[in-house]
């Protein structure tokens, strides 16, 4: 017999007993995965020695992955039953759900999706065990002989033994993880069908991608569907068009066009950014959009990033449109000799960068080919690293929490497979970030292998008002690029020393942050950001002179104000202002003219009373200062 510690409770088990059977014996509910001696494993895994076990429910990321991955296989099994000539692509778990790609030239209709859902329910009721099987490459080729896309994936696997998962008559090449049986996935819904190029390459065939979601309870599924409906209502592409903020034109795919009202919001974001960065000791620079190929070779971008870059020739020489601002900031730093007295030097830049994104991943303002990074590059001594990172975190917290009302989480990403520099340098940089987060008592999750190619990074993930997360700010610690560019400063000893370079953004991409704010606020921007802050509505023609006087007063005070003096009913004008999501309406009629007051209607609260002009101005000023 073996001894197993289950959350502090030691029990005896048979060697080779499944974790699933142990959980059932102990009466542990809602178990989907387990940690066995610190490693997350499937419940069908067995105990071979004295061990520590922790059972995991749906709240654990790996449990979610297994749940949604199993749901994708159930869907694929249903499709193969109903449409046996469909060829299998890939079927991963994704955030909040799953998809599976199929080569099915006829396309899936709405009626087909209903049939697939019904067949999935039968597969769940049949409760097939999901069994992992190991096969040689030769056996795998025979199993997949009628699945050309799977055969292509098989040839990319370097191992001679590969894993399959079988449920009933269905078997799929797969690395897992999965749940013990199909019966676990009782509550699911298929959401949409879209075209997707095989392996994301437009040169490959277009496949049919079916998206779905699934949850352990009906209530969780319904809650998720409701949040999806709310997300559709807040879609920044629809609101951007309805509120006349920006447009996306076929003449410039991935290059958004900003309209006058959209520029108001962008300029307010930029003005606030500049003010806060001046207060924090940053100096603003601007660097060229196009720089020589040699510079990008020296920086390492040529080797690590050139597939995402645009190129041009000038005077028969090779140049690149910058995908990042870092090399330009280094050239600014290298103008003139720097002393330790000049450090830390904080160089900020609202730099437009271009990146070659594939057409299939473009998405409104969230994924574009040209965007403005609110970059800063801090050059400091090793002793100054901790203080600078703390300062960036405080600045980011002020932006996210105090100004825009976001909660956020933090992730620390470590050395990726494709990276510059030695393990020793990476360990030094990673430990510097870790110790700062630990000293500030900031909780964080480690993402192994997700750092930039030149250094580890801290990422900020904002949570919006309907619970979605968005990665925005980042802090990247870089010991390598200063070495490549021979960046130095003169120390207290009169000798040359190498500074550390910190790359950081707060908004991340100004355009993307704008898109996030549109969805976060559902287009109803706070007063300080609203494209039109006050709309004056006249009841009749006799009220226009006083309304124009009020307009001039507000305009002279710097407010963005519009006058609606059309010969229309007041209710019609109010509905129009509400659709435009204007924060305040100032209504002018007989009483207002005679008393030189305005009746004020607030966007959410409705009528809030009658105010003198001075009282109205005071209220607006207080509201604007509070960023509400």
Q: Which of 63-72, 256-265, 298-307 has the weakest average pLDDT? A: 298-307
Active site residue 233: no
**Active-site option among 355, 367, 415, 543:** 355
pLDDT surpasses 90 at 518: yes
Active site residue 81: no
Return the CA Rg of the chain: 29
For domain 246-520, the question of CATH label 3.30.930.10 is answered with yes
**Active-site option among 73, 189, 415, 457:** 457
| DSSP type of residue 403 | I
Arithmetic mean of pLDDT, 418-429: 80
The pLDDT score that the predictor gives to residue 305 is 83
Q: Rounded to an integer, what distance in angstroms lies between the CA atom of residue 479 and that of residue 484?
A: 9
Question: What is the residue extent of each domain of the chain?
Answer: 2-57, 62-216, 246-520, 534-625
* 574's tokens: 């109010």
Cβ contacts of 184 within 8 Å, gap of 6 or more: 32, 67, 70, 216
Dump pLDDT digits (tens) for 14-35.
899 999 999 998 899 899 999 9
Dump pLDDT digits (tens) for 398-410.
999 999 999 999 9
Arithmetic mean of pLDDT, 457-474: 89
**Active-site option among 277, 301, 354, 503:** 503
User: Could you give the angle at the alpha carbon of 288 between the alpha carbons of 284 and 293, nearest 5°?
Assistant: 135
C-beta of residue 386 within 8 angstroms of C-beta of residue 432: yes
CATH label, 534-625, candidates 3.30.70.20, 1.20.120.1200, 1.10.600.10, 3.40.50.800 = 3.40.50.800
**Helices 544-556, 613-625: crossing angle, 10 deg rounding:** 40
Dump pLDDT digits (tens) for 521-546.
999 999 999 999 999 999 999 999 99
**Active-site option among 326, 459, 468, 533:** 326
Active site residue 69: no
SS3 content of the chain, % helix, strand, coil (to 5): 40, 30, 30
**Sequence-ordered strand ranges (E) for 7-70:** 9-13, 33-36, 39-42, 51-56
Active site residue 380: no
Dump pLDDT digits (tens) for 589-625.
999 999 999 999 999 999 999 999 999 999 999 999 9
If you average pLDDT over every residue of the chain, what do you get?
Answer: 93
The pLDDT score that the predictor gives to residue 467 is 82
Alpha-helical segments (H) within 306-448 = 326-333, 385-397, 423-439
pLDDT surpasses 80 at 339: yes
Cβ contacts of 421 within 8 Å, gap of 6 or more: 454, 455, 479, 480
Percentage of residues of the chain with pLDDT beyond 90: 81
**Active-site option among 172, 374, 375, 478:** 375
Q: Rounded to an integer, what distance in angstroms lies between the CA atom of residue 282 and that of residue 598?
A: 43
pLDDT surpasses 90 at 179: yes
Percentage of residues of the chain with pLDDT beyond 70: 100
Active site residue 457: yes
Active site residue 138: no
The pLDDT score that the predictor gives to residue 95 is 87
pLDDT category at 555 given cuts 50, 70, 90 is very high
Judge if 62-216 and 534-625 fold alike in CATH terms. Answer: no
Active site residue 354: no
Arithmetic mean of pLDDT, 188-199: 93
- 2-57 in CATH: which number? 3.10.20.30
Please state which CATH class domain 62-216 belongs to.
Answer: alpha beta
**Active-site option among 377, 520, 535, 573:** 377
Arithmetic mean of pLDDT, 290-298: 92
């Amino acid at each position: 017999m073996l001894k197993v510690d289950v959350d502090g409770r030691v029990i005896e088990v048979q060697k080779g007993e499944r974790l699933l059977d142990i959980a059932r014996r102990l009466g542990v509910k809602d178990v989907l995965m387990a940690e066995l001696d610190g490693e997350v494993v499937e419940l069908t895994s067995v105990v071979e020695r004295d061990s520590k076990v922790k059972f995991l429910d749906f709240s654990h990321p790996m449990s979610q992955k297994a749940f949604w991955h199993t749901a994708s296989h159930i869907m694929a099994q249903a499709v193969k039953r109903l449409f046996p000539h469909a060829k299998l692509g890939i079927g991963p778990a994704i955030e909040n759900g799953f998809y599976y790609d199929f080569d099915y030239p006829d396309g899936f209709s709405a009626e087909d999706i209903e049939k697939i859902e019904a067949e999935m329910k039968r597969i769940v009721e049949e409760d097939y065990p999901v069994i992992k099987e190991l096969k040689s490459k030769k056996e795998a080729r025979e199993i997949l002989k009628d699945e050309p896309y799977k055969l292509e994936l098989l040839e990319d696997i370097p191992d001679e033994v590969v894993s399959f998962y079988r449920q009933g008559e269905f078997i799929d090449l797969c690395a897992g993880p999965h749940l013990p049986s199909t019966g676990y996935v009782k509550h699911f819904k298929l959401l949409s069908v879209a075209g997707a190029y095989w392996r994301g390459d437009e040169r490959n065939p277009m496949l049919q991608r079916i998206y779905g979601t699934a949850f352990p309870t009906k209530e969780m599924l319904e809650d998720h569907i409701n949040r999806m409906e709310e997300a559709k209502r807040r879609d920044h592409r629809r609101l951007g068009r309805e509120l006349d903020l920006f447009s996306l034109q076929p003449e410039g795919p991935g290059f958004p066009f900003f309209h006058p009202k959209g520029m108001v919001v962008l300029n307010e974001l930029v003005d606030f950014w500049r003010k806060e960065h001046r207060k924090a000791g940053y100096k603003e620079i601007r660097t060229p959009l196009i720089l020589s190929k040699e510079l990008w070779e020296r920086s390492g971008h040529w080797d690590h990033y050139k597939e995402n870059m645009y190129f041009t020739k000038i005077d028969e020489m090779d140049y690149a449109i910058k995908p990042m601002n870092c090399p330009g900031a280094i050239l600014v730093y290298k103008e003139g000799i720097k002393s330790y007295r000049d450090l830390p030097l904080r160089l900020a830049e609202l730099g437009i960068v271009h990146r070659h994104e594939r057409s299939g991943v473009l998405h409104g303002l969230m994924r574009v080919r040209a965007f403005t990074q609110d970059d800063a590059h801090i050059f400091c001594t090793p002793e100054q690293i901790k203080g600078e990172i703390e300062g960036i975190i405080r600045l980011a917290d002020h932006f996210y929490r105090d100004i825009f009302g976001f909660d956020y989480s933090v992730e620390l990403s470590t050395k990726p497979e494709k990276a510059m520099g030695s393990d020793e340098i990476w360990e030094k940089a990673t430990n510097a970030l870790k110790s700062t987060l630990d000293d500030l008592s900031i909780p964080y999750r480690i993402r192994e292998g997700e750092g930039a190619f030149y250094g580890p990074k801290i990422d900020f993930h904002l949570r919006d008002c309907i619970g979605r997360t968005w990665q925005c700010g980042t802090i990247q610690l870089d010991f390598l690029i200063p070495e490549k560019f021979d960046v130095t400063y003169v120390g207290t000893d009169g000798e040359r020393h190498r500074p550390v370079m910190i790359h950081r953004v707060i908004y991340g991409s100004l355009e993307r942050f704008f898109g996030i704010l549109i969805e976060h606020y559902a287009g109803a921007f706070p007063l300080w950001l609203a494209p039109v802050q006050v709309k004056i509505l006249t009841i009749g023609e006799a009220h226009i002179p006083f309304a124009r006087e009020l307009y001039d007063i507000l305009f002279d005070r710097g407010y963005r104000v519009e006058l609606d003096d059309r010969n229309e009913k007041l209710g019609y004008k109010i509905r129009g202002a509400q659709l435009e999501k204007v924060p305040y309406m100032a209504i002018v009629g007989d009483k207002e003219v005679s008393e030189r007051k305005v009746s004020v209607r607030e966007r959410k609260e409705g009528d809030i009373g009658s105010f003198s002009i001075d009282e109205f101005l005071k209220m607006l000023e207080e509201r604007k200062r509070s960023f509400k």
